[in-house]
Amino acid sequence: MLKYFIIALLSFQSFSDCIHEFQKTAEEIQTLAKYQNVLFLNEDNQFINFHSGISLEKNRDYTIQVSHPKRLTESNKGYNDRYLEYYSYAHIQKFLSNQSSSLNNIGYSYKSIGKSVQGRNLYYVAPKKLSNKKKTILMFGRHHGDEGTANWIIEGFVRKFIKDANFREKYQLVLYPMVNPDGAENHSRYNARRRDLNRVWHSNPEKSYDEVKVIQKHFLSQAGKADIMLDMHGSFTEDFIYRVDRNFLSSDYYNMQQSFIDTLGALDPYQNGNFQISNGHKKMARIYFLKNFNINSLTHETPRDIRRNGSRSIEDLNQQGIALLETINKEVVVKK
Protein backbone atom coordinates (compact mmCIF):
# COMPACT_ATOMS: atom_id res chain seq x y z
CA MET A 1 0.00 0.00 0.00
CA LEU A 2 2.75 2.35 1.08
CA LYS A 3 4.75 1.41 -1.99
CA TYR A 4 1.88 2.42 -4.26
CA PHE A 5 1.52 5.68 -2.43
CA ILE A 6 5.17 6.54 -3.07
CA ILE A 7 4.89 5.49 -6.69
CA ALA A 8 1.86 7.75 -7.02
CA LEU A 9 3.79 10.63 -5.50
CA LEU A 10 6.61 10.12 -7.93
CA SER A 11 4.66 9.15 -10.98
CA PHE A 12 4.72 12.53 -12.66
CA GLN A 13 8.02 11.87 -14.27
CA SER A 14 9.56 8.98 -16.10
CA PHE A 15 12.21 6.87 -14.41
CA SER A 16 14.51 6.78 -17.40
CA ASP A 17 15.55 10.30 -16.58
CA CYS A 18 18.96 11.60 -15.55
CA ILE A 19 17.37 12.76 -12.26
CA HIS A 20 13.89 12.67 -10.84
CA GLU A 21 12.93 16.28 -10.36
CA PHE A 22 9.52 17.36 -9.10
CA GLN A 23 7.53 20.30 -7.91
CA LYS A 24 5.98 19.33 -4.56
CA THR A 25 4.06 20.98 -1.77
CA ALA A 26 5.38 21.12 1.80
CA GLU A 27 3.02 18.30 2.81
CA GLU A 28 4.08 16.06 -0.03
CA ILE A 29 7.74 16.67 0.69
CA GLN A 30 7.31 15.82 4.37
CA THR A 31 5.60 12.56 3.48
CA LEU A 32 8.12 11.63 0.83
CA ALA A 33 11.06 12.41 3.11
CA LYS A 34 9.96 9.62 5.46
CA TYR A 35 10.77 7.04 2.81
CA GLN A 36 13.22 8.68 0.44
CA ASN A 37 16.27 10.84 0.53
CA VAL A 38 14.78 14.11 -0.69
CA LEU A 39 17.08 16.82 -2.00
CA PHE A 40 15.45 20.15 -1.58
CA LEU A 41 16.37 23.27 -3.56
CA ASN A 42 17.09 26.10 -1.14
CA GLU A 43 17.08 29.84 -1.82
CA ASP A 44 20.78 29.75 -2.63
CA ASN A 45 20.22 27.30 -5.49
CA GLN A 46 21.68 24.36 -3.60
CA PHE A 47 20.15 20.89 -3.39
CA ILE A 48 20.43 19.97 0.27
CA ASN A 49 19.11 16.97 2.21
CA PHE A 50 15.65 17.73 3.41
CA HIS A 51 15.19 17.19 7.14
CA SER A 52 12.54 17.98 9.70
CA GLY A 53 14.37 21.12 10.86
CA ILE A 54 13.61 22.83 7.56
CA SER A 55 10.31 24.66 7.73
CA LEU A 56 8.31 25.00 4.56
CA GLU A 57 5.48 27.34 3.75
CA LYS A 58 2.09 25.93 2.98
CA ASN A 59 0.41 26.57 -0.37
CA ARG A 60 3.49 26.77 -2.47
CA ASP A 61 5.51 24.35 -4.54
CA TYR A 62 9.15 23.55 -4.02
CA THR A 63 11.63 21.93 -6.35
CA ILE A 64 13.01 18.63 -5.15
CA GLN A 65 15.22 15.95 -6.66
CA VAL A 66 15.03 12.30 -5.70
CA SER A 67 17.73 9.90 -6.68
CA HIS A 68 17.23 6.50 -8.24
CA PRO A 69 16.74 3.97 -5.39
CA LYS A 70 19.78 2.00 -6.56
CA ARG A 71 22.02 5.02 -6.09
CA LEU A 72 21.15 5.16 -2.41
CA THR A 73 21.99 1.57 -1.61
CA GLU A 74 25.09 1.04 -3.69
CA SER A 75 28.43 2.37 -2.61
CA ASN A 76 31.07 3.45 -5.08
CA LYS A 77 33.51 0.95 -3.59
CA GLY A 78 34.42 -1.64 -6.19
CA TYR A 79 32.53 0.30 -8.87
CA ASN A 80 35.00 -0.63 -11.58
CA ASP A 81 34.61 -4.34 -10.78
CA ARG A 82 30.91 -4.15 -11.40
CA TYR A 83 30.58 -1.49 -14.09
CA LEU A 84 32.53 -0.19 -17.07
CA GLU A 85 35.42 1.89 -15.77
CA TYR A 86 34.30 5.09 -14.10
CA TYR A 87 35.60 8.07 -16.06
CA SER A 88 37.57 10.09 -13.52
CA TYR A 89 39.00 13.61 -13.49
CA ALA A 90 42.48 12.05 -13.70
CA HIS A 91 41.33 10.28 -16.86
CA ILE A 92 40.32 13.44 -18.71
CA GLN A 93 43.72 14.90 -17.84
CA LYS A 94 45.45 11.79 -19.20
CA PHE A 95 43.32 11.72 -22.34
CA LEU A 96 43.94 15.39 -23.17
CA SER A 97 47.63 15.08 -22.49
CA ASN A 98 47.81 11.99 -24.74
CA GLN A 99 45.99 13.84 -27.53
CA SER A 100 48.09 16.96 -27.15
CA SER A 101 50.35 16.48 -30.17
CA SER A 102 47.51 15.19 -32.40
CA LEU A 103 45.48 18.24 -31.46
CA ASN A 104 48.42 20.48 -32.17
CA ASN A 105 48.85 18.87 -35.60
CA ILE A 106 45.33 19.86 -36.61
CA GLY A 107 45.64 23.41 -35.23
CA TYR A 108 43.88 22.70 -31.97
CA SER A 109 44.92 22.93 -28.35
CA TYR A 110 43.55 22.21 -24.95
CA LYS A 111 43.94 24.31 -21.86
CA SER A 112 42.42 25.05 -18.50
CA ILE A 113 40.28 28.19 -18.59
CA GLY A 114 39.59 28.41 -14.87
CA LYS A 115 39.07 26.44 -11.72
CA SER A 116 36.26 24.50 -10.14
CA VAL A 117 35.08 25.33 -6.62
CA GLN A 118 37.62 22.83 -5.23
CA GLY A 119 40.38 24.06 -7.52
CA ARG A 120 40.33 21.51 -10.35
CA ASN A 121 40.90 22.55 -13.94
CA LEU A 122 38.04 23.42 -16.29
CA TYR A 123 39.26 22.21 -19.65
CA TYR A 124 38.62 23.65 -23.07
CA VAL A 125 39.46 22.08 -26.43
CA ALA A 126 39.21 24.27 -29.52
CA PRO A 127 41.03 25.55 -32.59
CA LYS A 128 43.89 27.87 -31.74
CA LYS A 129 42.20 30.26 -34.11
CA LEU A 130 38.45 30.01 -34.60
CA SER A 131 37.20 30.21 -38.18
CA ASN A 132 34.24 32.28 -39.33
CA LYS A 133 33.72 29.99 -42.32
CA LYS A 134 33.20 26.73 -40.48
CA LYS A 135 30.16 25.59 -38.57
CA THR A 136 30.79 25.32 -34.85
CA ILE A 137 29.94 22.24 -32.83
CA LEU A 138 29.65 23.15 -29.18
CA MET A 139 29.89 20.19 -26.84
CA PHE A 140 29.71 19.83 -23.07
CA GLY A 141 30.40 16.82 -20.89
CA ARG A 142 29.72 16.12 -17.24
CA HIS A 143 27.47 18.90 -16.05
CA HIS A 144 26.56 16.05 -13.72
CA GLY A 145 29.63 14.57 -12.09
CA ASP A 146 28.41 11.00 -11.69
CA GLU A 147 27.45 10.52 -15.35
CA GLY A 148 30.80 9.15 -16.43
CA THR A 149 29.85 7.26 -19.61
CA ALA A 150 29.33 10.61 -21.36
CA ASN A 151 33.09 11.11 -21.40
CA TRP A 152 33.76 7.77 -23.11
CA ILE A 153 31.45 8.92 -25.89
CA ILE A 154 33.23 12.27 -26.08
CA GLU A 155 36.56 10.45 -26.43
CA GLY A 156 35.26 8.54 -29.44
CA PHE A 157 33.98 11.79 -30.95
CA VAL A 158 37.30 13.61 -30.41
CA ARG A 159 39.46 10.79 -31.83
CA LYS A 160 37.31 10.59 -34.95
CA PHE A 161 37.32 14.38 -35.26
CA ILE A 162 41.13 14.43 -35.18
CA LYS A 163 41.28 11.74 -37.88
CA ASP A 164 38.65 13.12 -40.23
CA ALA A 165 40.19 15.96 -42.24
CA ASN A 166 37.17 16.22 -44.56
CA PHE A 167 34.84 16.74 -41.64
CA ARG A 168 37.16 19.38 -40.22
CA GLU A 169 36.98 21.30 -43.48
CA LYS A 170 33.35 22.05 -42.65
CA TYR A 171 33.18 21.93 -38.88
CA GLN A 172 35.13 23.16 -35.91
CA LEU A 173 34.79 21.82 -32.39
CA VAL A 174 34.48 23.84 -29.20
CA LEU A 175 34.49 21.40 -26.31
CA TYR A 176 34.23 21.73 -22.54
CA PRO A 177 34.67 18.05 -21.71
CA MET A 178 34.22 18.15 -17.94
CA VAL A 179 32.07 20.99 -16.63
CA ASN A 180 31.88 19.50 -13.13
CA PRO A 181 35.26 17.95 -12.23
CA ASP A 182 34.54 18.13 -8.48
CA GLY A 183 31.34 16.16 -8.96
CA ALA A 184 33.23 13.67 -11.14
CA GLU A 185 35.85 13.23 -8.43
CA ASN A 186 33.25 12.96 -5.67
CA HIS A 187 30.89 10.67 -7.65
CA SER A 188 28.20 13.30 -7.27
CA ARG A 189 25.67 14.82 -9.59
CA TYR A 190 26.20 18.19 -7.91
CA ASN A 191 29.18 20.47 -7.69
CA ALA A 192 31.05 21.09 -4.44
CA ARG A 193 28.44 23.70 -3.43
CA ARG A 194 25.58 21.23 -3.96
CA ARG A 195 24.47 23.05 -7.12
CA ASP A 196 23.02 21.25 -10.11
CA LEU A 197 25.15 22.78 -12.86
CA ASN A 198 22.52 22.00 -15.46
CA ARG A 199 20.12 24.39 -13.70
CA VAL A 200 22.32 27.47 -13.39
CA TRP A 201 22.79 28.80 -16.97
CA HIS A 202 21.29 32.26 -16.52
CA SER A 203 20.84 34.44 -19.61
CA ASN A 204 22.97 36.99 -17.76
CA PRO A 205 26.27 35.18 -17.01
CA GLU A 206 26.81 37.30 -13.89
CA LYS A 207 23.79 35.52 -12.45
CA SER A 208 25.01 32.04 -13.36
CA TYR A 209 26.84 30.01 -10.75
CA ASP A 210 30.26 28.54 -10.08
CA GLU A 211 31.83 26.45 -12.87
CA VAL A 212 29.08 27.37 -15.33
CA LYS A 213 29.72 31.06 -14.76
CA VAL A 214 33.42 30.59 -15.63
CA ILE A 215 32.66 28.48 -18.70
CA GLN A 216 29.79 30.66 -19.95
CA LYS A 217 31.87 33.84 -19.74
CA HIS A 218 34.71 32.08 -21.49
CA PHE A 219 32.45 30.82 -24.27
CA LEU A 220 30.88 34.24 -24.79
CA SER A 221 34.29 35.91 -25.00
CA GLN A 222 35.75 33.25 -27.34
CA ALA A 223 33.54 31.38 -29.82
CA GLY A 224 30.45 33.34 -28.82
CA LYS A 225 28.32 31.38 -31.28
CA ALA A 226 27.62 27.83 -32.35
CA ASP A 227 25.58 25.93 -34.91
CA ILE A 228 24.77 22.91 -32.81
CA MET A 229 25.01 22.23 -29.08
CA LEU A 230 25.39 18.73 -27.71
CA ASP A 231 25.23 18.26 -23.96
CA MET A 232 26.42 14.81 -22.93
CA HIS A 233 24.72 13.15 -19.95
CA GLY A 234 24.11 9.80 -18.29
CA SER A 235 20.62 8.42 -17.65
CA PHE A 236 19.50 5.71 -15.23
CA THR A 237 18.40 3.09 -17.70
CA GLU A 238 18.34 3.88 -21.39
CA ASP A 239 19.75 5.85 -24.27
CA PHE A 240 17.72 8.73 -25.62
CA ILE A 241 17.79 12.36 -26.71
CA TYR A 242 16.01 15.13 -24.83
CA ARG A 243 14.29 17.61 -27.11
CA VAL A 244 11.57 20.27 -26.82
CA ASP A 245 8.02 19.85 -28.06
CA ARG A 246 6.64 21.00 -31.39
CA ASN A 247 5.20 24.22 -30.00
CA PHE A 248 8.25 25.33 -28.11
CA LEU A 249 9.88 27.07 -31.09
CA SER A 250 8.37 25.92 -34.37
CA SER A 251 7.49 22.78 -36.24
CA ASP A 252 10.47 23.36 -38.53
CA TYR A 253 12.70 23.23 -35.49
CA TYR A 254 10.94 20.12 -34.26
CA ASN A 255 11.32 18.44 -37.65
CA MET A 256 14.98 19.38 -37.84
CA GLN A 257 15.59 17.70 -34.48
CA GLN A 258 13.52 14.70 -35.54
CA SER A 259 15.67 14.29 -38.61
CA PHE A 260 18.82 14.45 -36.49
CA ILE A 261 17.40 11.87 -34.06
CA ASP A 262 16.40 9.55 -36.93
CA THR A 263 19.83 9.76 -38.55
CA LEU A 264 21.58 9.16 -35.24
CA GLY A 265 19.25 6.25 -34.53
CA ALA A 266 20.24 4.58 -37.80
CA LEU A 267 23.94 4.91 -36.93
CA ASP A 268 23.78 4.20 -33.20
CA PRO A 269 21.86 1.01 -32.31
CA TYR A 270 21.75 2.03 -28.64
CA GLN A 271 20.14 5.42 -29.32
CA ASN A 272 17.87 3.76 -31.88
CA GLY A 273 15.79 6.89 -32.46
CA ASN A 274 14.68 7.17 -28.82
CA PHE A 275 13.78 10.58 -27.54
CA GLN A 276 11.97 12.25 -24.69
CA ILE A 277 10.18 15.52 -24.99
CA SER A 278 11.00 17.92 -22.23
CA ASN A 279 10.80 21.67 -22.35
CA GLY A 280 13.13 21.49 -19.42
CA HIS A 281 14.19 24.14 -17.04
CA LYS A 282 15.01 27.57 -18.41
CA LYS A 283 18.47 27.47 -16.84
CA MET A 284 19.49 24.16 -18.40
CA ALA A 285 22.32 24.32 -20.91
CA ARG A 286 20.03 22.87 -23.61
CA ILE A 287 17.33 25.48 -23.11
CA TYR A 288 19.80 28.33 -22.64
CA PHE A 289 21.49 27.63 -25.99
CA LEU A 290 18.24 27.01 -27.77
CA LYS A 291 16.72 30.28 -26.57
CA ASN A 292 19.77 32.52 -26.73
CA PHE A 293 21.46 31.15 -29.86
CA ASN A 294 18.55 29.64 -31.73
CA ILE A 295 20.44 26.48 -32.56
CA ASN A 296 19.86 22.76 -32.63
CA SER A 297 20.37 22.06 -28.96
CA LEU A 298 20.12 18.52 -27.64
CA THR A 299 20.86 16.53 -24.51
CA HIS A 300 22.38 13.13 -25.21
CA GLU A 301 21.67 10.46 -22.61
CA THR A 302 23.35 7.09 -22.21
CA PRO A 303 23.12 4.85 -19.13
CA ARG A 304 25.68 6.05 -16.62
CA ASP A 305 26.35 2.69 -14.97
CA ILE A 306 26.84 -0.11 -17.48
CA ARG A 307 27.38 -3.60 -16.05
CA ARG A 308 30.47 -5.49 -17.04
CA ASN A 309 28.44 -8.28 -18.57
CA GLY A 310 29.50 -7.83 -22.16
CA SER A 311 26.34 -6.03 -23.27
CA ARG A 312 28.31 -2.87 -24.02
CA SER A 313 31.99 -2.03 -23.93
CA ILE A 314 33.96 1.19 -23.70
CA GLU A 315 34.68 0.75 -27.42
CA ASP A 316 30.92 0.69 -28.03
CA LEU A 317 30.64 3.99 -26.16
CA ASN A 318 33.49 5.44 -28.26
CA GLN A 319 31.56 4.25 -31.32
CA GLN A 320 28.50 6.18 -30.13
CA GLY A 321 30.64 9.30 -30.26
CA ILE A 322 31.62 8.50 -33.84
CA ALA A 323 27.93 8.03 -34.70
CA LEU A 324 27.26 11.53 -33.40
CA LEU A 325 29.96 12.99 -35.61
CA GLU A 326 28.65 11.12 -38.63
CA THR A 327 25.14 12.33 -37.89
CA ILE A 328 26.32 15.93 -37.90
CA ASN A 329 28.15 15.22 -41.15
CA LYS A 330 24.96 13.96 -42.80
CA GLU A 331 22.56 16.56 -41.48
CA VAL A 332 22.09 20.24 -42.09
CA VAL A 333 22.08 21.17 -38.46
CA VAL A 334 21.73 24.91 -38.75
CA LYS A 335 18.39 24.88 -40.52
CA LYS A 336 15.63 26.38 -38.42
Rounded least distance, CB 101 to Zn ion, Å: 32
**Total residues at the site for Zn ion (CB under 5 A)?**
4
Under the binding rule (CB under 5 A), the answer on residue 20 touching Zn ion is no
Rounded least distance, CB 5 to Zn ion, Å: 28
Under the binding rule (CB under 5 A), the answer on residue 18 touching Zn ion is yes
Instruction: Name the residue nearer to Zn ion (CB basis): 18 or 173.
Output: 18
Rounded least distance, CB 83 to Zn ion, Å: 17
Rounded least distance, CB 327 to Zn ion, Å: 20
Give the angle subtended at the CA of 329 by the CAs of 324 and 333, to the nearest 5°: 85
Instruction: Name the residue nearer to Zn ion (CB basis): 21 or 147.
Output: 147
Note whether 163 and 152 are within 8 A (CB): no
Give just the sign of the alpha carbon dihedral 70, 71, 77, 81. Answer: positive
**Of residues 20, 24, 120, 144, which one binds Zn ion by CB under 5 A?**
144
Q: Find the binding residues for Zn ion in span 232-271 (CB under 5 A).
A: 233
Rounded least distance, CB 18 to Zn ion, Å: 3
Rounded CA separation 320/297 (Å): 18
Give the angle subtended at the CA of 86 by the CAs of 83 and 88, to the nearest 5°: 175
Under the binding rule (CB under 5 A), the answer on residue 200 touching Zn ion is no
Rounded CA separation 36/6 (Å): 9
Instruction: Name the residue nearer to Zn ion (CB basis): 103 or 284.
Output: 284
3-class DSSP state for residue 81?
Answer: helix
Neighbours of 49 (CB within 10 A): 11
Q: Find the binding residues for Zn ion in span 92-121 (CB under 5 A).
A: none
Contact region with Zn ion (CB under 5 A), list: 43-51, 145-153, 158-166, 327-335: 145-153
The pairing of strands 135-141 and 228-235 is parallel
Q: Among residues 38, 218, 194, which one has the least CA distance to residue 121?
A: 218
Which positions touch Zn ion (CB under 5 A)? 18, 144, 147, 233
